[in-house]
Amino acid sequence: MATRAAMNRVVAILLLLLMVTSMGVIFNQHEIRKLNIELDKEKQKNENAKVEYQRLELEFSKQLSVNKIEAVEQQKKEIIADKEAAQKAAAKDAVNGVVKKELIPTVPKKEPENH
């Protein structure tokens, strides 16, 4: 009978260990599911961040293009304004009777021939 009681005790201990191990497996599976859900959420956040980054890059390059176009337009306006100012100054000088020397062709003087 002592051996039967010892066997019952061993069986009880093994059943207890089986239950504890089963609870550990269940707990670990639950944790794995929670972590997988969290991982999926983080992957979605990462994907959203990538899309937002691409949108911002596109917006930035668009703004750069707009700024470049505006800078070129400003340069054109300045060139046109400079040309108009030069033309007005030339017209004003012409009206006032001032003629620049570069505009008058110079004819070399001929020396009289000695015969």
Question: Which of the 8 DSSP states describes residue 104?
Answer: S
Number of compact structural domains in the chain: 1
Amino acid at 107: V
Could you give the count of Cα atoms lying within 13 Å of 104 in the half-sphere of its Cβ?
A: 8
Q: Is residue 112 part of a domain?
A: no
- Measured CA to CA, the distance from residue 32 to residue 21 in angstroms comes to 16
Residue 101 belongs to some domain of the structure: no
Q: What is the pLDDT of residue 15?
A: 97
Q: Return the C-alpha torsion angle 26, 32, 34, 35, nearest 10.
A: 160
Domain of residue 68: give its range. 2-85
pTM of the model: 0.49
CA angle 7, 12, 15 (to 5 degrees): 125
- List, for residues 28-66, the tens digit of each pLDDT value: 999 999 999 999 999 999 999 999 999 999 999 888 888
> Does 111 reside within a domain?
no
Q: How confident is the model at residue 71 (pLDDT cuts 50, 70, 90)?
A: confident
Sequence letter at residue 15: L
